[in-house]
Amino acid sequence: MSNLLTTPRQSLKVVLSLVLAALLVGMGLYINRQTASVDNSAQDSTAPSIAPIEAQLPVPRPLTLFQLTAHDLKPLDNARLKGKWTLLFFGYTHCPDVCPTTLTELAQTVRLLEPAVLAETQFVFVSVDPRRDSPASLADYVTYFDERFIGATGSIDELAVLVRQLDSKFALGTDLAGEPIVNHSSAMLLIDPQVRYYAR
Q: In the structure, what pLDDT confidence band is assigned to residue 2 with cuts at 50, 70 and 90? A: very low
Could you tell me the sign of the dihedral formed by the alpha carbons of 50, 56, 57, 63, in that order? Answer: positive
Per the domain annotation, does 32 fall within a domain? no
User: In whole numbers, what is the pLDDT of the chain averaged over residues?
Assistant: 79
Q: In the structure, what pLDDT confidence band is assigned to residue 55 with cuts at 50, 70 and 90? A: low
Question: In the prediction, which pLDDT does 33 show?
Answer: 36
| pLDDT greater than 60 at residue 39 | no
Q: In this structure, which amino acid lies at residue 60?
A: P
- Identify any residues that bridge with 170 across adjacent strands, giving them in sequence order: 184
Per the domain annotation, does 136 fall within a domain? yes
Per the domain annotation, does 105 fall within a domain? yes
Question: In the prediction, which pLDDT does 48 show?
Answer: 40
Residue 86 structural domain: 55-199
Q: In the structure, what pLDDT confidence band is assigned to residue 188 with cuts at 50, 70 and 90? A: confident
**How many domains in the chain?**
1
0.85 exceeded by pTM? no
Helix (H) or strand (E) holding 196: strand 196-199
- Identify any residues that bridge with 15 across adjacent strands, giving them in sequence order: none
Question: In the prediction, which pLDDT does 23 show?
Answer: 37
Q: In this structure, which amino acid lies at residue 13?
A: K
Per the domain annotation, does 39 fall within a domain? no
Nearest to 89 by CA among 150, 180, 25: 150
- Of 15-19, 26-30, 102-106, the least confident: 26-30
- Identify any residues that bridge with 124 across adjacent strands, giving them in sequence order: 88, 150
Question: In the prediction, which pLDDT does 54 show?
Answer: 54
Distances (CA, A) of 85 to 5, 32, 80, 181, 197: 17, 14, 11, 31, 10
Question: In the prediction, which pLDDT does 165 show?
Answer: 96
Question: In the prediction, which pLDDT does 25 show?
Answer: 38
Per the domain annotation, does 6 fall within a domain? no
Question: In the prediction, which pLDDT does 47 show?
Answer: 38
Could you tell me the sign of the dihedral formed by the alpha carbons of 62, 65, 70, 75, in that order? Answer: positive
Question: In the prediction, which pLDDT does 49 show?
Answer: 40
Nearest to 151 by CA among 185, 121, 123, 114: 123
Question: Tens digits of per-residue pLDDT, 70-125?
Answer: 999 999 999 999 999 999 999 999 999 999 999 998 898 888 888 888 888 999 99
The percent of residues above 90 in pLDDT, for the chain, comes to 50
Q: What are phi and psi of 130, to 5 degrees?
A: -65, -15
Angle, helices 135-145/98-110, rounded to nearest 10 degrees: 50
Per the domain annotation, does 12 fall within a domain? no
Per the domain annotation, does 18 fall within a domain? no
Could you tell me the sign of the dihedral formed by the alpha carbons of 107, 109, 111, 114, in that order? Answer: negative
CATH of the domain at 145: 3.40.30.10
| pLDDT greater than 90 at residue 175 | no
Nearest to 200 by CA among 30, 4, 76: 30
With contact defined as beta carbons under 8 Å apart, do 129 and 93 qualify?
yes
Per the domain annotation, does 20 fall within a domain? no
